[in-house]
Amino acid sequence: MITFYPGPSKVYPQVGQYLQEAFESGLISANHRSGEFMQMLENTISDLKFKLNVPADYEVYFVSSATECWEIIAQSLMIDSSLHVFTGAFGEKWMEYTHRISHRTSEASFDYNADLILDKSAIFSKNEIICVTHNETSNGTKVPDAFLPELRQKFENLIAVDATSSMAGVVLPWEAADLWYASVQKCFGLPAGMGVMIISPNAVERALQVGEHKHYNSLLFMRENFLKFQTPYTPNTLGIYLLGKVMQQVPPIAEVDSLTRQRAAGWYAFLAEHHYELLVKNDPVRSDTVIAVRDTKERIAELKHFAKAEGITLGNGYGKEKEVSFRIANFPAISQDEIEILQNFLAKMSSR
């Protein structure tokens, strides 16, 4: 099957070779306090920061998933409350989960075709965390490129960003936020089971101010270990190894970004040419990595049925648009040949 599911999605074909290398090396049996493991962890972090152009003073931690980051942020960084800026289901879930822990959340939710404009007169506590969903996997929206830099100019608050379906696929304005997180099963082109958290010196200062040490995944406990290139709990050694290998393989993020945006423009032009209705009609908030198409419930079911018969997996719709949309992953691991196969199928189906 050729999969365009937006996560877990297609892994890079080289991962099969890397799996064999990991097994033969014996590293995946190594103690996670061993010098061998620590060197591998250090190399993986170094390669990730280099290829994604992460600022030198930002720190990188590995966790179980992007979802775990919701918990870490709520436990280890919150003082007053959190404001959640989102346009879809995953941003809303982040807010709901945080509220269950902290009971102190507010929202700035937008329709998926709306322009994202925060009230210029808004006044926040300096301790309030602004939580932004950079790329909404559920409906194929993104925050416009200028949004986070403008937010950084307006407010001195800590800014946390969910970049689950955009990190490693597009250039990110790292210094416009203090904490970024993602899972590896999307733009990283890896099997599910690990998350990446990247934090600024400001986020470290906040964690020290909060001083929370009550959980196995307390940020300060994690940091104490990662600064020694160790982990606070038995890690996903294989996941870290594979991430390091992929980071060695892929080009710098500026090149990946150029290809991602070029392919996205091609997809949007193709879909318009063949009379497919886009779920997101407001161009500045259309995602470059997850493309959502809208149609009737019956037509969506038909398209997915015939696609499966031809060996193609389309992404289901999600949330409110679950039955009247499908999603197409535009992630770096997907090849141009695979894109052409899907486009030929959709061109054929457009005349049915």
Nearest to 227 by CA among 199, 255, 249, 202: 199
Torsion of CA 122, 123, 125, 126, to 10 degrees: 100
Domain with 285 in it:
2-8+252-349
Here the CATH number for the domain that contains residue 328 is: 3.90.1150.10
Q: What is the pLDDT of residue 120?
A: 56
- C-alpha distances (whole Å) from 68 to each of 97, 162, 332 are 10, 12, 24
DSSP H or E segment with residue 315: strand 315-316
Token pair in block for residue 9: 């999605």
pLDDT, one tens digit per residue, over 45-81 is 999 999 999 999 999 999 999 999 999 999 999 998 9
Q: What is the pLDDT of residue 352?
A: 74
Report yes or no: 14 and 337 within 8 Å, Cβ to Cβ: no
Nearest to 185 by CA among 11, 4, 2: 11
Which position has the token pair 């007169």? Answer: 121
> How large a percentage of the chain has pLDDT more than 70?
98
Token pair in block for residue 159: 């800014």
* Domain tally, the chain: 2
Give the pLDDT mean for 316-335.
94
Residues 262 and 121 in one domain: no
Residues 244 and 272 in one domain: no
Residue 118 pLDDT grade (very low, low, confident, very high; cuts 50, 70, 90): low
Report yes or no: 63 and 218 within 8 Å, Cβ to Cβ: no
Here the CATH number for the domain that contains residue 136 is: 3.40.640.10
Give the pLDDT mean for 251-276.
97
Residue 113 pLDDT grade (very low, low, confident, very high; cuts 50, 70, 90): confident
pLDDT at 136 over 80: yes
Residues 188 and 288 in one domain: no
Residues 212 and 231 in one domain: yes
pLDDT, one tens digit per residue, over 212-249 is 999 999 999 999 999 999 999 999 999 999 999 999 99
Of 151-155, 185-189, 263-267, the one with minimum mean pLDDT is 151-155
pLDDT at 123 over 70: no
Token pair in block for residue 64: 């179980």
- End residue of a domain, out of 191, 224, 249: 249
> 3-state DSSP call for residue 281?
coil
Question: 10 Å Cβ neighbour count for 241?
Answer: 23
Higher pLDDT: 111 or 204? It is: 204
Phi-psi region of 170 (alpha: psi -120 to 50; beta: other; left: phi over 0): beta
- End residue of a domain, out of 209, 230, 249: 249
Residues 245 and 300 in one domain: no
Residues 235 and 266 in one domain: no
- Determine whether 156 is exposed, middle or buried from the number of CB atoms within 10 Å of its CB (0-12, 13-18, 19+): exposed
Which position has the token pair 């608050």? Answer: 157
Beta bridge partners of 167: 170
Token pair in block for residue 3: 């999969």
Q: What is the pLDDT of residue 103?
A: 82
Report yes or no: 215 and 75 within 8 Å, Cβ to Cβ: yes
- End residue of a domain, out of 204, 227, 249: 249
- C-alpha distances (whole Å) from 102 to each of 75, 76, 94, 105, 159 are 8, 11, 12, 8, 17
Residues 95 and 216 in one domain: yes
Residue 111 pLDDT grade (very low, low, confident, very high; cuts 50, 70, 90): confident
Residues 236 and 340 in one domain: no
pLDDT at 177 over 60: yes
Q: What is the pLDDT of residue 108?
A: 85
Whole-angstrom distance, CA of residue 285 vs CA of residue 295: 20
Residues 144 and 102 in one domain: yes
Of 29-38, 290-299, 300-309, 327-336, the one with minimum mean pLDDT is 29-38
Give the pLDDT mean for 195-205.
98
pLDDT, one tens digit per residue, over 334-351 is 999 999 999 999 999 998
Mean pLDDT score of the chain, rounded to an integer? 94
Residues 150 and 215 in one domain: yes
Q: What is the pLDDT of residue 296?
A: 95
Residues 58 and 37 in one domain: yes
Residue 321 pLDDT grade (very low, low, confident, very high; cuts 50, 70, 90): confident
Residue 121 pLDDT grade (very low, low, confident, very high; cuts 50, 70, 90): low
Nearest to 53 by CA among 150, 175, 151, 143: 175
Give the pLDDT mean for 17-24.
95
Token pair in block for residue 76: 């280890």
Give the pLDDT mean for 292-318.
95
Residues 73 and 120 in one domain: yes
